[in-house]
Structure 1
Amino acid sequence: MTSPLKKIPVARVARGMYVHKICGNWLDHPFWRGSFLVEDETTLATLRALGNQEVWIDTDKGLDLPSSPIRAPSAPAPAPAPAAVEQEPEPPRTVFGNDVARAEELRDRAKAAAKALFHDARMGRALQMETAASIVDEVDEAIARNPAAMLSVLRLKNKDDYTYLHSVAVAALMMALGRRLGYEGVALKELGLAGLLHDIGKVGVPDAVLNKPGKLNPLELTSVRQHPQIGWDILRREVAAGPVALDVCLHHHEKTDGSGYPEKLAGNSISRAARMGAICDVYDAITSDRPYKRGWEPAEAIRRMAEWQDGHFDRDIFHTFVKLIGIYPTGTLVRLASDRLAVVLVQGEGSSLKPVVRLICALPDREPLEPETLDLHESDDRIVEIEDPVAWGIHIPRVLRE
């Protein structure tokens, strides 16, 4: 099936076309929405003023380019070039597996970009905000396509990647949660940028303190609690960072009961974006492997956060977050009542207790099963227990990628 998306120069855009995305940096154009119908001459003129930029149009939602006349070939086609050395083909993947593979590629680019941002901040140099905005764009597209794939890839990080991928993961979580809460366009991208930059102040905290395996002493705790203010001081010099990133950076450790830091704000004194940031930051932190502890499984993290919600988190936003992540988040290994092991792929359309899973093996003999996706909402089977993939020797990223 031919994709309805087509990249064209802005000079060829016409009224009636539907702009799916403007290529390049979203900080560099005046449109607050990421996609829109070109309905009038004013919108068309504003697009044309972007010069040599390109846009993606969606021909299912608007007009296509006029068809080019078919011309007879003027000369025989050249002989095909000698075949290249045949490479071993990649194993076939499901649609979900393809999205996971693309998300893994994006994760690696985003990690490199985040590492560069932290390095610039540590050296006292200006941050590469265009690069940051470009990464936010790509993560937003991945979230729009398949949030479960992107979020599962970013959760499964090793302890050495934590500092940089935590920032990317919080950006993705912020945008996925923002979509659930009705954010769109530039407002959604601002949330992503805020997530990417929320911990930039940790460049001012010694690594020995950040990675200490034991309990922090009072002096070390004071040092860690300075990172929101350090980050705010860094970002206030960056005009392109914007007020949302500054706010989330400074206030993502505030709690609704006023016991957080640095300003001990409470309730609605904490902005909605900062309340979102607090939830996304804690979830990714406690589900990630750190130098001093192994991360909790997502389902356990959600259960613990539910116990903390009164006083720590905005209750309504947290409940929306739980619907996004699920009671059994993507990548959770589960045992079914039919005595089969399965991995959760995506949340189902019905009850959060009945996600879509991929079957792995039958117990007790671990007999491999033919790859099969099972929607528990449409099945008599059900989840009876969460299992530890390490104990079963199951590599979750590989299963998700298949």
Structure 2
Amino acid sequence: MSMDTTPPRLQPMDLAGIDDLLTEDEKAVRSSVRQLCVEHVDPYVADWFERGQVDDIRGLIKQFGSLGLLGMHLEGYGCAGMSATEYGIACLELEASDSGIRSMVSVQGSLAMFAIWKFGSEEQKNEWLPAMASGEAIGCFGLTEPDAGSDPANMRTRARRDGSDWVLDGRKMWITNGTIADVAVVWAQTEDGIRGFVIPTATSGFSAPEIHHKQSLRASVTSELVMDSVRLPDSAMLPEVRGLRGPLSCLNEARYGIVWGALGAARSSLEASLDYAGTRIAFDKPISAFQLTQAKLVDMNLEYTKGLLLALHLGRRKDAGALRPEQVSLGKLNNVREALDICRTARTILGANGISLEYPVIRHMSNLESVLTYEGTVEMHTLIVGQAMTGHSAFR
């Protein structure tokens, strides 16, 4: 015989009760990152986006470091050693403030730091990882080139031997953190295949001009990397990997963060539209009382909820060591696409106000246009999932 119990009251932004699936530690991470963003990001980010410049960006990155967010899912060398799910939750909260803010944290931890942590020598790890974990040193990751985005095997950046040294020549494009970075992890063709190199950005011949005139990810530094006869010692090469497996495994780490992060932009836009619909009066009642507006809100919440369940499932698999790259592609493909659709629908609820930076929606929508493309385009992830389903490669 069962006793009748009163179910908990429904929360409009958690209709499925997903909070019940989170541990207390995971909730604590969420609370800490949310509070940091409320204090240090949210009051300023619309202005940063409008000006295309983040004030005191080094100070902000140190704030992230002080909370343990930089390389938080890595073990040792000053890193926090948190779970993959906790890292994902942090990405969601960061991107609820702005995709550019989440991107700078992801590039630092999941690309630059992960590459050194996974494939670097002990000397490289000890030199760079503690300083990067604290935010004292900023890293960037150079893979994409002007003519080699989805096909990195055809990169033109070259590294050649000159005595005991390496000499690098080439260009990388669309590099987050590049202009402010202290160290760059750069991938180049060699006679022995693709290799990674750890380049202090003060090295002669290295430059990182900032890319301007962006209309997306404006609260983020995006750069070109230029290597003009950059001379490096042999110890600058990442010793533990050769070929595309190196950079692609780093990209998989970053893509995992995007699976969660895109939902932050979606949640912020959904919250904004729900609040707006409850206060905007038309025909003597709030527009949230109209059927068509409710249909939009329900559809948005439904897709957000499904995306969050998918992200949480993938996080649990990653923590269990069972997550495959194809599953990350599935998550990135779905969650970014649905998040962008949520932002576009939220914009319609806000009407003309939807294009104003007084509200976060147009900023999130614009940012997600970049997130849709980077770390693998829709086309690439579709073909990855298609190959997993059919066993046939359709890339060529």
Higher helix share: 2
TM-score (norm 2): 0.32
Q: Which has the larger radius of gyration?
A: 1
Tell me: higher relative CO, structure 1 or 2? Use CA pairs within 8 A at least 6 residues apart. 2
TM-score (norm 1): 0.31
